[in-house]
Amino acid sequence: MSAQINTPGEHGKQLNHVEAKQGTDAPRGMPIVVIVGVVAATAAMAIIWLVFFAR
C-alpha cells in the first residue's frame, strides 16, 4: 500500500485575481418582506387572541 501525497499542480494554482467586495448591498425587496411579515404576525396574533381569550 502506498500513500498518496497531494502536491499543488495545475488545479491548485490561482489563475486569476478576484477583487472582494468591501460590503454587501442590501436586498432590494427587504422592506416588503419585513412589512408583510409584521402584518402576517399581527394578524396571526389577533386570530389567536380572538380564538382563545375573547370569550
Domain annotation covers residue 4? no
What domain range is 41 assigned to? 30-55
Does residue 15 surpass a pLDDT of 70?
no
Domain annotation covers residue 12? no
How many distinct structural domains can be found in the chain?
A: 1
Q: What does the alpha-carbon distance between residue 53 and residue 38 come to, in Å, rounded to a whole number?
A: 21
- Amino acid identity of 9? G
Domain annotation covers residue 11? no
Domain annotation covers residue 39? yes
Provide mean pLDDT across the span 1-21: 64
The secondary element (H helix, E strand) that includes residue 45 is helix 30-52
* Cα radius of gyration rounded to whole Å, the chain: 27
Record the pTM.
0.48
Highest mean pLDDT: which of 5-9, 10-14, 26-30, 44-48?
Answer: 44-48
Q: What does the alpha-carbon distance between residue 42 and residue 49 come to, in Å, rounded to a whole number?
A: 10
Domain annotation covers residue 53? yes
